C-alpha cells in the first residue's frame, strides 16, 4: 500500500530538537537567525521573517501594507480556505477570480477583469507548487500604483519561473511549513519581503506575538510522528492499509476521517504566534536536505506525468515553469472510480486537495469543477523507483 502523502521529518533531526530544547536564550535567537539566513540564501533575494503560520504571514503582510477595511484583495477561488479568512481578518474583502482548468491558477485576463478602484493587492498563488503567470500579472498591475503584487507560496518553496524563484516577484510572499509541506516545522511559516522597510514593519508585528508553548509544539511533534509512522509503507501495509480497504468496502472514507481528527490537530489553524527556536531547529536540516529532496520529487513527477493514462490529465505548466511538486495532481471525469481502482491496487490517491472557497461557489465554474475532479498522486521523495513503478501500473489500468 502506498500512501498519498507523508510527512517529512527524519530521525536525525531529533538531535537538533533536543539541542533547541536546552538552548540558552542567546542560542535560541541564533537558531531563528540561522533559519532566516538559510531561507534567504535558498531564495537568493529578499528579507525573511519567521512566523507561526502561512495564514498569519498573509495577515501580517496585508497589515504592514496598510490593507484593511474598504480594500479588496484579488485571490483565486481555488485555494485553501484560510486565505480568504486571513483577508477578512484584517478587515479587507477577498475578491475571488476563477482559475484556469489546466494550470489551476489565476490568469492575467481573470485578474484584469477583477481590478477596480478598491483593489489594493493581488495574491498570485502557485497552486500545488505550479508557478502561475506572476510575471504577466505583475506587468498588468504595473500601472496601478496602489495595487501590490503578493505571492502565496504556501506550496511553492522550490518553484521558479524563467529561472526566477517564486516568492521574489512581488512586494512580499508567504510560505507554509505544516506537516505535509516540503519543509515541516509542525506548523509554521515564513514571510519574504522585498524591501528592508517592509520587512522591518512585518518583523515588528511578528515579534509582538508570543512564542508557542513548548508543550503544544511537542504535542504536534508527537501527533506528526504518529502520522508519519502510520503512513510509511509498512504502516500502510498493516494497520492503516487494512483500515483503508475495509472502510472503503463499507463506503466510508477513512482518510477523510483521519484528516479531520489526527491531521487537523497538527495544522496551523490557531497559530497566532511567533515561530519558536525549537521549530527553527527542526527546519534547519530540512533546508539543507531540500535540494536533494526537490531533485527526487522532480524525477518522480516527470515519470508519473509521462505515464498517466488517457483518463488522467496532468496539471498544465507554463513554459519556463519549474514546479515545486508539493502535490502531483491530475484531473479526471471519474474521481470515485479512479480512486477505488487505485486503492484496490495498493495506491491511495488523495481527493479534494484544494477547495472552491468563494462565497458564491457557483459563480466560479472552473474552481468548482477542479474541486471535484482533481486527484493527488503520491510523489514524495521517500518513494523508491519500485514504488513509482507500482503507482504507474495502478494508474495505467
Ligand atoms: C494555498 C494555501 N495558502 C495558504 C495556506 C495557509 O498556510 P498555513 O496552513 O501555514 O497557515 C495554505 C495551507 O496549507 C494553503 O494551502
Best mutation site among 56, 59, 77, 82 for ligand 1 pocket (most ligand atoms within 8 Å of CB): 82
What pLDDT, on a 0 to 100 scale, did the predictor assign at position 73? 98
What pLDDT, on a 0 to 100 scale, did the predictor assign at position 6? 66
- All three cell numbers of 55, joined, read 495564514
CA of 102 from ligand 1 middle (Å) equals 21
Best mutation site among 268, 271, 350, 354 for ligand 1 pocket (most ligand atoms within 8 Å of CB): 268
Ligand 1 atom closest to 56 (CA): 11
Ligand 1 atom closest to 125 (CA): 1
Report the chain (397 residues): mean pLDDT per 10 consecutive residues: 67 61 70 95 97 96 98 98 96 98 98 98 98 98 96 97 98 93 90 98 94 79 72 67 73 64 56 85 89 96 93 97 96 92 87 90 95 93 92 88
CA of 233 from ligand 1 middle (Å) equals 27
What pLDDT, on a 0 to 100 scale, did the predictor assign at position 225? 72
Domain 218-272+287-396 has CATH 1.10.10.10: no
What pLDDT, on a 0 to 100 scale, did the predictor assign at position 185? 87
Q: What's the whole-model pTM score?
A: 0.92
CATH of domain 11-207: 3.40.640.10
**3-class secondary structure per residue, the chain:** CECCCCCCCCHHHHHHHHHHHCCCHHHHHHHHHHHHHHHHHHHCCCEEEEECCHHHHHHHHHHHCCCCCCCEEEEECEECCHHHHHHHHCCCEEEEECCCCCCCCCCHHHHHHHCCCCEEEEEEECHHHCCCCHHHHHHHHHHCCCCEEEEECCCCCCCEECCEECCCCCCEEEEECCCCCCCCCCCCEEEEECCHHHHHHHHHHHHCCCCCCHHHHHHHHHHHHHHHHHCCHHHHHCHHHHHHHHHHHHCCCHHHHHHHHCHHHHCCCCCCCCCCHHHHHHHHHHHHHHHHHHHHHHHHHHHHHHHCCCCCEECCCCCCEECCCCCEEEECCCHHHHHHHHHHCCECCEECCCEECCCCHHHCHHHHHHHHHEEEECCCCCCCHHHHHHHHHHHHC
Ligand 1 atom closest to 188 (CA): 10
What pLDDT, on a 0 to 100 scale, did the predictor assign at position 12? 56
What pLDDT, on a 0 to 100 scale, did the predictor assign at position 261? 58
CA of 334 from ligand 1 middle (Å) equals 27
Residues with Cβ within 6 A of ligand 1? 53-55, 79-80, 82-83, 125, 152, 154-155, 176, 178, 189, 268
What pLDDT, on a 0 to 100 scale, did the predictor assign at position 231? 66
> What residue ranges do the domains of the chain occupy?
11-207, 218-272+287-396
Please name the residue whose Cα sits nearest to atom 9 of ligand 1.
Answer: 268
Amino acid at each position: 500500500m502506498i500512501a498519498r502523502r507523508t510527512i517529512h521529518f527524519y530521525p536525525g533531526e531529533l538531535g537538533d530538537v533536543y539541542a533547541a530544547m536546552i538552548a540558552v536564550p542567546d542560542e535560541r535567537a541564533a537558531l531563528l537567525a540561522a533559519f532566516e539566513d538559510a531561507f534567504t540564501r535558498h531564495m537568493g533575494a529578499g528579507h525573511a521573517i519567521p512566523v507561526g503560520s502561512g495564514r498569519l504571514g498573509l495577515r501580517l503582510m496585508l497589515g504592514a501594507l496598510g490593507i484593511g477595511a474598504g480594500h479588496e484583495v484579488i485571490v483565486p477561488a481555488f485555494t485553501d480556505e484560510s486565505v480568504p479568512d486571513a483577508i477578512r481578518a484584517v478587515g479587507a474583502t477577498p475578491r475571488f477570480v476563477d482559475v484556469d482548468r489546466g494550470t489551476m491558477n489565476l490568469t492575467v485576463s481573470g485578474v484584469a477583469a477583477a481590478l477596480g478602484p478598491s483593489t489594493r493587492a493581488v495574491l498570485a498563488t502557485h497552486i500545488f507548487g505550479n508557478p502561475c503567470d506572476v510575471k504577466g500579472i505583475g506587468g498588468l498591475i504595473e500601472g496601478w500604483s496602489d495595487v501590490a503584487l503578493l505571492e502565496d507560496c504556501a506550496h511553492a518553496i522550490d518553484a521558479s519561473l524563467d529561472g526566477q524563484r517564486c516568492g521574489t516577484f512581488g512586494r512580499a510572499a508567504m510560505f507554509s511549513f505544516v506537516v505535509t509541506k516540503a519543509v515541516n516545522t509542525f506548523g509554521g511559516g515564513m514571510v519574504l519581503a522585498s524591501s528592508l522597510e517592509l520587512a522591518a514593519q512585518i518583523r515588528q508585528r511578528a515579534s509582538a506575538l508570543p512564542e508557542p508553548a513548548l508543550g503544544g509544539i511537542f504535542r504536534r511533534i508527537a501527533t506528526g510522528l504518529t502520522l508519519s509512522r502510520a503512513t510509511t509503507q509498512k504502516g500502510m501495509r498493516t494497520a492503516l492499509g487494512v483500515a483503508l480497504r475495509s472502510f472503503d468496502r463499507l463506503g466510508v472514507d477513512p482518510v477523510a476521517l483521519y484528516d479531520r481528527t489526527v491531521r487537523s490537530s497538527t495544522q496551523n489553524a490557531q497559530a497566532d504566534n511567533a515561530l519558536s527556536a525549537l521549530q527553527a531547529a527542526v527546519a534547519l536540516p530540512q533546508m539543507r536536505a531540500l535540494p536533494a529532496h526537490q531533485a527526487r520529487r522532480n524525477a518522480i513527477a516527470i515519470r508519473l506525468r509521462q505515464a498517466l493514462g488517457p483518463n488522467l490529465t496532468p496539471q498544465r505548466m507554463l513554459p519556463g515553469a519549474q514546479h515545486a511538486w508539493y502535490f502531483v495532481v491530475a484531473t479526471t471525469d471519474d474521481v470515485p472510480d479512479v480512486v477505488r481502482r487505485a486503492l484496490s491496487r495498493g495506491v491511495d490517491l488523495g481527493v479534494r486537495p484544494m477547495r472552491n472557497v468563494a462565497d458564491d461557489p457557483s459563480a466560479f465554474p472552473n474552481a468548482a469543477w477542479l474541486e471535484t475532479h482533481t486527484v493527488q498522486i503520491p510523489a514524495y521523495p521517500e518513494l523508491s523507483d519500485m514504488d513509482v513503478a507500482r503507482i504507474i501500473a495502478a494508474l495505467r489500468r
